[in-house]
Chains A and B, each alone.
Chain A
Amino acid sequence: MAEPGPVVTLEGVTVTYGTNTALRDISTTFGAGAVGLLGPNGAGKSTMIKSLLGFVVPNQGRMRVLGLDVAEAPLQIRARVGYMPENDAHIPGMNAVSFVAYCAELSGLPRVDAMQRAHEVLFYVGLGEARYRNVETYSTGMKQRIKLAQALVHDPELLFLDEPTNGMDPKGRDEMLELVRDLALNKGVNVIVSSHLLPDIEYTCRDVVVMDKGRVVAHGAIEGLKQPRGRVFELRVKAAGGPERFIEQLRAAGLECHATDDDVMRVFVPGEGGAQRLFELAAAASVQVRHLRPSVPTLEDVFAQAVGEE
């Protein structure tokens, strides 16, 4: 079967707010299924989504969503997409079921269908028991779910989820990620998940677009990006005066190196003969290698490599 075409295409898109450039000449595509939009805060992820929704008019470039030009058919696009904003957002003075049904009516559903869909979607996102409560009384986690419900109620072909697990407790976060996965894998909804949390993207998405400072720095299938063009090692060393100098020496030798939560560092050694090269560098720097273990590359490695973070 032929691979479905891209659901979102950006060609040379630049967005500036005053003197601040939020997106710099971005050209990329988002395929069908679940695609992650990954990057640190301020990378331009939310601006990209808002541009695709038509909230922000780019200074230059073209964008297409579901085959439609954003500049020419924004309303037709919005009828077919759902948007879960990053920050707290609701229609004031309504209970959950009224709010979600109202959003469905705004999207063109008849009143009776809108109410029925609102009940169904609220049960789906786990707010069935709380659906007659005023949204303003909801906890942060519940507000995240209601934002998902309003984005889903009109059955969009494409969902934009901006930081969907923001402020949620671990259990709520897992449940939200399960919902996103279910939508993408079982319900046939295309999803673009914007997040700065690597595990969220890795769990829910097949493809990823990595952004930094308004640019796309990596793009492709997560598994493909994780394929080593070298090898990754977990390394612990003992060095007089701490490992910082050794890390500098590794970087000077062209190796990607970043510290993890423990005193273990992850080192990406391009090409062949990774372990041998590490031992040689350690010997040259008079550093004792206390632990060396080959590791499977994670999305974090891809991210760190692409963004150039320590």
Chain B
Amino acid sequence: MPIHDQGYRRYTGIRAQTGRAWSVIATAGIRTLLAKRTFIGLLLLSWVPFLVRAVQIYAAANLPQAQFLAPDAAMFRSFLQQQEIFLFFITVYAGTGLIANDRRANALQIYLSKPLSRAEYIFGKFAILLALLLLVTWLPAMLLLVIQVMFAGSFTFFLTHLYLVPAITIFSLIQVATVALAMLALSSLSKSSRYVGILYAGLIFFSQAVYGIVRGITRDTRMAWLSVPLDLQQIGDAIFRIEPRFAMPVWSAFLVIALLIAASAFILERRVRGIEVVA
């Protein structure tokens, strides 16, 4: 029977250079979430619209009577808009506790006593949301493009709509980065993930409600910039080169989103610290 030394031994193995700890945080976070059945169920559900669109593309490519289903840029834009509901639920499920739970368990001082900077910690947490949200936006949208080429048996649509590749990529990144940063900022404000969920829902629905009231009074869509989801929709329309649905200028939507990202970054810079000082 082997005798195991259970005393303390010095470590003589290799050590990675500083700067890669964010990937450890991201990998561990994604692994933890993928181990949850509820989350896997949510992910599978979020791919149902992809299956529906795949059937639509198949029918348009193979059935002459289904030509009215032929894909165009608006279809891809519409698909990404449909995914917004899953974007919301996955952001809430995966994002609310990312920093709030660490704050509740005083984990920040554990993290920041290791060789990683605050920016690396935030980027690691951001990467968790980024990867999971792109999994239900960018990835299925790009796969739909691939499926279109496969079912049509030609590159004609792909080549005439080549701009869809950067459009899907850029819009998905803007959409995902905005919600991920906003969620992280809210998560850093509280030690309760439930409270963070309420705050996030408030940000989305309250801004929508305020715009609804203003629109009801003015009967004008120029104030749509008041709603964060509508700002993203307006940006999406512009990126996909389709008719914008609101009368507000696109730059105002970009400005609101840029301000939201800047505010989120500011909050994260203030809140993610190894020591909490109550002066």
- Please give the residue numbers on chain A whose beta carbons come within 8 Å of chain B beta carbons, in ascending order: 17-20, 50, 53-56, 75-76, 78-79, 81-83, 85, 87-93, 102-103, 105-110, 113, 117, 120-121, 123-124, 128, 136, 150-152, 154-155, 182-183, 187-188
Contacts and interface: CB of A to CB of B under 8 A. Distances in A.
SS of B interface (majority): loop
A109 B275 CA distance: 26
A91 B279 contact: no
Contacts of A105: 21, 24, 28
Nearest to B104: A92
Nearest to A50: B275
Interface string B264-279: 0000000001110101
Given A17-B279, A78-B114, A123 B6 contact: yes
Contacts of B274: 50, 53-55
B102 A91 contact: yes
B15 interface: yes
B117 interface: yes
Contacts of A150: 110
A50 B104 CA distance: 19
Contact of A92 (B11, B20, B101): B101
A89 B8 contact: no
A20 B32 CA distance: 42
Contacts of B18: 75-76, 79, 108
25 contacts: A17-B277, A19-B279, A50-B275, A55-B273, A75-B115, A76-B18, A76-B115, A79-B15, A79-B115, A83-B113, A85-B106, A85-B113, A87-B106, A89-B107, A89-B109, A90-B107, A105-B21, A106-B21, A106-B115, A107-B114, A110-B16, A113-B14, A117-B11, A150-B110, A187-B8
Contacts of A154: 11, 15
Given A18-B277, A91-B102, A136-B105, 5 more contacts: A91-B107, A92-B107, A117-B11, A120-B8, A188-B10
A55 B114 CA distance: 11
Nearest to B115: A79
B112 interface: yes
B90 interface: no
Q: Which of B7, B14, B21, B114 has the most CB of A within 10 A?
A: B114
A124 B6 contact: yes
SS of A interface (majority): mixed
Nearest to A51: B275
A53 B24 CA distance: 21
B203 to A, nearest CB: 24
Contacts of B97: 92
B8 A124 contact: yes
A120 B107 CA distance: 22
B111 interface: yes
B13 interface: yes
B44 to A, nearest CB: 22
Interface string B1-36: 000001111110111111011001100100010000
Contacts of B32: 93
Contacts of B104: 92
Given A78-B113, A92-B105, A106-B24, A120 B6 contact: yes
A252 B79 CA distance: 87
A17 B274 CA distance: 14
A52 to B, nearest CB: 11
Contacts of A76: 18, 115
Q: Which of B97, B106, B113, B115 has the most CB of A within 10 A?
A: B113
Contacts of B115: 75-76, 78-79, 106-108
Contacts of A108: 15-18, 20-21, 115
A155 B15 CA distance: 11
A109 B15 contact: yes
Contact of A187 (B10, B106, B111): B10
A90 B13 contact: no
Contact of A110 (B13, B105, B109, B116): B13
A271 to B, nearest CB: 46
A91 B24 CA distance: 13
A108 B25 CA distance: 12
B272 to A, nearest CB: 12
Nearest to B273: A55
Q: Which of B6, B11, B15, B109 has the most CB of A within 10 A?
A: B11
Contacts of B277: 17-18
Contacts of B7: 124
Given A75-B115, A102-B28, A85 B14 contact: no
A106 to B, nearest CB: 4
Interface in B101-139: 101-102, 104-107, 109-117
A119 to B, nearest CB: 9
Given A17-B277, A106-B116, A120 B13 contact: no
Given A89-B105, A107-B115, A110-B13, A182 B8 contact: yes
Contacts of A75: 18, 115-117
